[in-house]
Structure 1
Amino acid sequence: MHRAAVAEVFLTDWHRLDRDTFSIGAQWPRGHSLYRPRAGQQDPMLLAESIRQAGALLAHTQYGVPLGHHFLMWSLSYDVVPGGLVADLSPTEIELLTTCDEITMRGRHLASLRYSVTAFRDRLPVATGEAAFSCASPAAYDRLRGDRRHASSGALPAPVSPDTVGRESSRDVVLSRQDARRPRQWQLRVEPTHPIYFDHPVDHVPGMVLLEAARQAALALARPGSPVPFRMSGTFRRYAELGTECRIRARADRTDPAGHTVVQVTGEQAGHTVFTCAVGTRPAH
């Protein structure tokens, strides 16, 4: 799963349904240390991480990717139906019906994969999602990254208030305090020793941390009342480097009569767009 901590592995089992379709079981804890329930609902980032893990699982077990190879995430999205992630008095059991839609092989090894997911709970569909990534051998990754493999992060800027971004601890906040001259903009703040965001040493900002930044930016712009980020669609264009300022910009695109808001989030670093993400929020009720 490309995780060092057993507690951060959410997948439990899998079996093949046909050539490129699989049923993957997942279990989410009632009280994760980071992705805690809010307003009686599981954090949708548990779904996003489960979708990411599903791709790693299938790449290694079904498509011949050796352990130790690197994955380059290009996109990840999810869309949750209302009430689909209600937190119960027991762990949340999910089935991820996963279909590998685009498979590119290089010789006998997987070069890239795009897959779609339908999440079921008690046999009812509760969410959909998609993801895409490419694979690189250790040698190819060394050539790609070069000296940037040894970059380190600088001093952390002060965080925004955890309450404004749906987190309970300042350590979990990945957005800096806003500059009054730059409304709706934040500096990305990453702590490489964070036990969840950086489960193991890496030489860049992980894609899941960038999605978390988009999530926090959307909640910072949303109306009060614990809105739920029920939809997210992220695209990654280049690596987000450690030790180089990454500016997070957010813009509320529209709000419909039901209170659903779409926030467009962009990450920019050294004059280049690192990632873009559309986040949909709706009232918790």
Structure 2
Amino acid sequence: MASATLTAPPTAAGRRPFTGGERTGLSDLPPLTTTVPRQYVHRTAVSEVFLTDWRRAGTDGWVVSAQWPRAHSFYGPVDGLHDPVLLVETMRQASILLSHVAHGVPLDHPIIWQDLHYSLVPEALRVTGTPAEIELHITDHDLVYRGKRLASARQLYRVRRDGTELARAELNFSCHSPAVYRRLRGKYSDLQRANDRKLDLAEPVAPRLVARDRTGDVVLSPTGHANRWQLRVNTAHPVLFDHPVDHAPGMLMVEAARQAAHAAAGPGFSLPVDMACSFHRYAELDAPCWVEATVAGRDGRDHLLLDVDIRQNGQSVFTARAASQSIR
């Protein structure tokens, strides 16, 4: 499971960000664009908000716009291609945004992932001389309500860049009130207590082994066993831990899967063009998580298949299958 919670002042559902001169009377100026309010995507840092607008598309669909920078402190390009995990973060933000503006979920309600899957077109990730303008065409399916409030949903994504298909994806998530979340989390719902009990930061593997440039961005720690690592949980990381949380966040799990798949595949297989992830339970901060990767053969497109399992206290908290393509 993975969740995101951020308390913010109430706002009207369906409100859109400032996008045009008509709101100031400056109708002779070209349309102006900004990011959506950071509270709508459960982010503290405005710089980590990638969404710029949203609009309705039919009775059960939405188009969400985003912009990907040419460089980013964490989701930076590799070999001239945008980071595919940036797609997952953009989906995360879009699902949270729509839960609030389309379905009226209060801003203090955690959004919890069950599973996600993406399949992308590598060439559409190519970095150019300008930021990438992204459109996520999203349709809602299997909406479940508890009373008048959304309890869970399945979203299908068609992701386009400048009119060209970039990816197709699916995300399943649930929404919970703060009271329900506290019951689910038990003693771990106490944010301060959960962080006071966190483990010391483990040593990193060499960044080059996991396609990273900086030690601070490495989320795996060596164990002395091939293709087995301890999850490195750095609660001071400014992107993965944009704000304090009571458990290891879902984006950390996805990044760990990507790094483990890269390390297990070896040089030349650094682009996860397809990934399916399942979040089984919360990963707590007070016990080690063990990350294991297994090479599972190749698919019909000659992509290397890798299975990743993250376990804590003898139970699986997260699993993923990645299909990696050589980009060298």
TM-score > 0.5, shorter chain as reference:
yes
Q: Which residue of 2 aligns with 1:36?
A: 76
Residue type of the partner of 1:241? E
Q: Which residue of 2 aligns with 1:81?
A: 121
TM-score of the aligned structures, taking structure 2 as reference length: 0.84
Q: Does the CA-based 8 Å contact 1:38-1:226 persist in structure 2?
A: no
1:25 to 65, 76, 79: 65
1:273 to 288, 293, 316: 316
Q: Distance in 2 between matches of 1:114 and 1:155?
A: 37
Residue type of the partner of 1:129? A
Q: Which residue of 1 aligns with 2:223?
A: 178
Q: Does the CA-based 8 Å contact 1:64-1:108 persist in structure 2?
A: no
CA spacing shift, 1:256–1:77, aligned 2, 3 Å: closer
Q: Which residue of 1 aligns with 2:200?
A: 155
2:158 to 111, 118, 138: 118
Gaps of 5+ in 1: none
Rg larger for: 2
Q: Distance in 2 between matches of 1:16 and 1:60?
A: 14
Q: Distance in 2 between matches of 1:27 and 1:75?
A: 24
Residue type of the partner of 1:75? D
CA spacing shift, 1:144–1:256, aligned 2, 3 Å: closer
| Cα offsets for 1:162-199 (capped at 9, x unmatched) | 111111111111100131xx321100011111100100
1:260 to 282, 294, 303: 303
Q: Which residue of 2 aligns with 1:4?
A: 44
Q: Does the CA-based 8 Å contact 1:37-1:87 persist in structure 2?
A: yes
Q: Does the CA-based 8 Å contact 1:165-1:216 persist in structure 2?
A: yes
Q: Does the CA-based 8 Å contact 1:39-1:226 persist in structure 2?
A: no
Q: Does the CA-based 8 Å contact 2:53-2:65 persist in structure 1?
A: yes
Q: Which residue of 2 aligns with 1:236?
A: 279
Q: Distance in 2 between matches of 1:257 and 1:86?
A: 24
SS at match of 1:15: strand
Q: Distance in 2 between matches of 1:226 and 1:87?
A: 19
Residue type of the partner of 1:126? L
| Cα offsets for 1:120-178 (capped at 9, x unmatched) | 11212111111111111111111111211322321112111111111111111110013
1:190 aligns with 2:209: no
Residue type of the partner of 1:261? L
Q: Distance in 2 between matches of 1:167 and 1:77?
A: 23
Q: Does the CA-based 8 Å contact 1:44-1:229 persist in structure 2?
A: yes
Q: Does the CA-based 8 Å contact 2:54-2:65 persist in structure 1?
A: yes
Kindly, what percent of the aligned residue pairs are identical?
46
1:207 aligns with 2:253: no
Q: Which residue of 2 aligns with 1:145?
A: 185
SS at match of 2:260: helix
Residue type of the partner of 2:254? L
Residue type of the partner of 2:289? C
- Residue-pair matches, total: 283
How far did residue 226 of structure 1 move?
5.9
Q: Which residue of 2 aligns with 1:95?
A: 135
Q: Distance in 2 between matches of 1:106 and 1:163?
A: 47
1:167 to 203, 212, 220: 212
Q: Which residue of 1 aligns with 2:326?
A: 283
Q: Does the CA-based 8 Å contact 2:289-2:311 persist in structure 1?
A: yes
Q: Which residue of 2 aligns with 1:62?
A: 102
SS at match of 2:93: helix
Q: Does the CA-based 8 Å contact 2:138-2:156 persist in structure 1?
A: yes
Q: Does the CA-based 8 Å contact 1:48-1:77 persist in structure 2?
A: no
Q: Distance in 1 between matches of 2:180 and 2:128?
A: 45
Q: Which residue of 2 aligns with 1:216?
A: 259
Q: RMSD across aligned C-alpha pairs, in angstroms?
A: 1.3
Q: Does the CA-based 8 Å contact 2:299-2:305 persist in structure 1?
A: no
How far did residue 257 of structure 1 move?
8.4
Residue type of the partner of 1:175? L
Q: Does the CA-based 8 Å contact 2:113-2:172 persist in structure 1?
A: yes
1:105 to 145, 166, 178: 145
Q: Distance in 2 between matches of 1:84 and 1:164?
A: 25
1:251 aligns with 2:291: no
Q: Does the CA-based 8 Å contact 1:4-1:199 persist in structure 2?
A: yes
CA spacing shift, 1:132–1:257, aligned 2, 3 Å: closer
Q: Distance in 1 between matches of 2:69 and 2:223?
A: 33
How far did residue 223 of structure 1 move?
3.0
Q: Distance in 2 between matches of 1:276 and 1:86?
A: 28
